[in-house]
Chain A
Amino acid sequence: MSLLQMEQIMKRYNQGELEVMALKGINLTVEEGEFVAIMGTSGSGKSTMMNILGCLDRPTQGSYLLEGQDVAHFDDNALAEVRNKKIGFVFQSFNLLPKLSALENVALPMVYAGVDRAVRIKRAMEALDKVGLSARIHHKPNELSGGQRQRVAIARALVNDPAILMADEPTGNLDSKSTFEIMGIFQQLNDEGVTVVMVTHEPDVAQYTKRIVVFQDGEIKQDHPVEHRVIFREGAVQ
C-alpha cells in the first residue's frame, strides 16, 4: 500500500460565469520515505494540489487514498482529524499565532488532539529541539527571524508525528541562508523516515529533494528522480 495515491483528481473553481479547471485529472503516488518537490509555473495548480493533499480542501472529482483511506469524501470533522493526526502542513507565510509563544504554537495541535498538558510541553520542547530552536521557546513569532519562524512552523507540523509533511513554498519568504538551513532540516527529517512533499519555484532548492514533479496547466508534465542531489552541510558555503 502506498502512503498516498491520487487517481484522476480534478478541481474546478466557479467564479461567477468563469469556470477554472485548476486540476485536470492528476494521478500521483507517493511512497513512504519519499522527498518530493512539486514545481511549475505560477497558476499551474501546485497550491490547489497541496491543499487537497493536505486535506484542507476536497477534490471536485477523483479518488485520494491516504494510508488506504479514501479521504476525498470525508466530512469536515473527519478531515480535521486527518489534518491533526496524519498531516503536518508548513506554509510560505509561516501562519503562526502571533499572541502565542513558540512553545505554545508548537503545542497547539496537541491541544486539539487531546494530549495532556505535561506531555504537550515535553513533546513541543523535543520538536523545537529538533529544529534547533531550544533557546527561543518563549519568544513570540514577531521576536523571531523568518527562518526561525519557519522552524517553529516545522516543529508544529511535526509534533503530532504525522504520516506526511506538506510544505507550500516553505522557503518563499526566506533569504538564501535560511532557505538552505530549512532544506537541511527537511533532509535530516527525511533521513529519519519522514515523508516530505514540498512546492518550490527554485530549481536549486528542488535539488535537495529526491524526486521532482512538474505541473503545467493543471496537469503533471514531468515526474523524474533528482539526478545530482545536493546534501546540506552545516557551515558549507552555498
Chain B
Amino acid sequence: MNLAECIKNAFQNVFSNKSRTLLTMLGIIIGISSVIIIVAIGNGSQAAIEEEFESFGTGSFTVSLVGSRDIDTRDLLTMEDYYLLEEMEGIAAISPTYTYGSAFLKLMDPQETNTATMTGVTADYQSLNNDTLLYGRYLSNNDVNMKTNVCVIYDTTAQKVFGRADESVIDQQIQIKSWKGTKKYTVIGILQNTDTSQIENPDEYPDTIFAPITSIMKNYYSDTISNLMISVSADADTDDMKEQILTALEDFHGNEDKYYIMDTTDMMDSINSILSYVTLFIGFVAAISLLVGGIGVMNIMMVTVTERTREIGIRKAIGAKNKDIRFQFLVEAILLTGSGGLLGLLIGWAGSYGVGALVGITPVMSITAILGAVGVSMAIGIIFGVTPANKAAKLDPIEALRYE
C-alpha cells in the first residue's frame, strides 16, 4: 500500500472524530507546549544573564571593601593598593576603578543633559571590560600618570553628544556638569557598545565615560578608589591568586576580613547550574506528562482497533497484508501524536511570549527544541502505537469479518 494513500486515509480517520482526537492529544499538547515554554524561557534567562555578565567582562574578578559598619579609614582602598598589587606575579591585568555617578553630560541640544557615570580606570581596563575600540585610542598609563582630562566614550554616547560616532569625534570636547563644577574632557577614543538594550533605547540609560582614574579622583575630590578589577594570567591558579591578593591587602592594611572578591564567572556558573537544575526538574515533569499522553494515545488506539475490527477484516479480505494494516494504524498513531506535538508547539510558542512578558524575559526559540518537540511527539506515536497496530495486524480475517 502506498504512503500517500495511507496518510490520506489516516487523516480521514483521525480527524473524523474531532473531539475525541483533541482529548486524546491533550496530554501530548500539554507536554510539548510546556517543554517549549520551559526551554524558551530557560534559554532566554540564560541569554539575559550572560549578556549582563559579559558587560562586566568575564575571566576577571573585583576586589572590594566589605560593606559593614566597623570600617576604619585605614581599611579604605587607595591607589597605593593598586601599586602594590600591580607588582604581584601572576596578575595579567589590573585596574582600579572609581565611579562618580552624580554628573550630567551636555548633549547636542545645549538645553539638554543626560546622567553621566564618570568611571576612572587605567589602561588595563579595556581588556578587563572586554571593550572594543572603534576609533582613536584607549587610555594610556601616561594619561593616568599625567592626570590628563581625556576620555573614551561609547558610540551610543557619541551619537547623543555629536550626532555622529566616527573619526571626526576624536579630539572633540565634552562637558560634564556636577555640583563639583563643569569639567571638560577631550574624547580620545570611541568604544563599541554591545549592550543590546542600551543600543535599542540609548536615552533611557546613563552614559558611561571612561577617564584616567587619577583625573577623576582629582576632579571629584576622592582619595579612595571603589574597587580593583583583576584578571590572572593563564598559567596561574585563580583560587590561589585570590588568596594571595587578599593576604597581601590584609598585610598591607594590617587588618583582617575586610575585603571580598566577586567573580562573575563563578556567579554565572552557579546561576547556570541552578537554572539547569530547574529546567531539568520541570523537563522531568513534562516528560511524565508526555508519558501519560502516550498511554492515552495507546488506550484510544486500542479502542479504535476494536471498533474497526470489521474494517480490518474487510481490508484483509480484499488483499491487505498484515504489514499494511500495521502500517495504517501506526501512521494514524503518529498523525495523532504528531499533530498534538504541532499544536503543542504553536501553543508553547505563543505561551513563551506570554510567560516571557509576565516575567520580563525575552524567550529564545531554539531550532533544536522545535525539531525535538516534533520528533519526540512522533516517536511517542511510534512507541505507543506499535502495540495497537500489531493487535490490528494479527487479527484473523474471518473472525474480524464476523465481528459485530
Contacts and interface: CB of A to CB of B under 8 A. Distances in A.
B347 interface: no
B401 to A, nearest CB: 7
B319 A95 contact: no
Interface string B279-318: 0000000000000000000000000000000110111111
B48 interface: no
A111 B327 CA distance: 14
B12 interface: yes
A208 to B, nearest CB: 25
A97 B323 CA distance: 19
Interface stretch (A18-26, A79-87, A189-197): A79-87
Contacts of B314: 95-97
A178 interface: no
Given A57-B398, A97-B311, A112 B16 contact: no
B397 interface: yes
B328 to A, nearest CB: 11
Interface in A81-108: 81, 83-85, 89, 91, 95-97, 99, 108
Q: Identify which of B310, B311, B317, B324 gathers the most chain A CB atoms within 10 Å of its CB.
A: B317
Interface in A165-207: none
A144 B13 CA distance: 22
A113 interface: yes
A109 to B, nearest CB: 4
B180 interface: no
A77 interface: yes
Contact of B320 (A54, A91, A95, A112): A112
Interface residue tally on A, bucketed by range: 20 to 34
Nearest to A76: B322
A91 B314 CA distance: 10
Contacts of B315: 97, 108, 112
Interface string A63-80: 000000000000011001
A231 interface: no
Contacts of A44: none
Contacts of B12: 99
Interface string A104-143: 0000110111100100000000000000000000000000
B4 to A, nearest CB: 8
Contacts, number: 65
A112 B324 contact: yes
A95 B317 contact: yes
Contact of A109 (B13, B311, B318, B321): B318
Q: Identify which of B1, B314, B316 gathers the most chain A CB atoms within 10 Å of its CB.
A: B314
A96 B398 CA distance: 15
Interface in B226-272: none
A99 B310 CA distance: 13
A215 B230 CA distance: 104
Nearest to A86: B319
B318 A112 contact: yes
A119 to B, nearest CB: 12
Contact of B401 (A81, A91, A108, A109): A91
Contacts of A76: 321-322
A85 B324 CA distance: 16
Given A51-B398, A57-B398, A99-B16, A113 B319 contact: yes
B5 interface: yes
Given A51-B398, A56-B398, A111-B5, A83 B318 contact: yes
Given A56-B398, A111-B2, A80 B320 contact: yes
Contacts of A77: 321-323
Contacts of A91: 317, 401
Nearest to A116: B2
Given A91-B401, A99-B12, A108 B318 contact: yes
Interface of A: 51, 54, 56-57, 76-77, 80-81, 83-85, 89, 91, 95-97, 99, 108-109, 111-114, 117, 156, 160
14 contacts: A56-B317, A77-B323, A80-B316, A80-B319, A84-B318, A89-B317, A89-B318, A95-B310, A95-B313, A95-B317, A99-B16, A109-B319, A112-B321, A117-B4
Given A76-B321, A80-B321, A112-B318, 12 more contacts: A56-B317, A56-B397, A76-B322, A83-B319, A89-B318, A95-B310, A97-B315, A99-B12, A108-B318, A109-B319, A156-B318, A160-B319
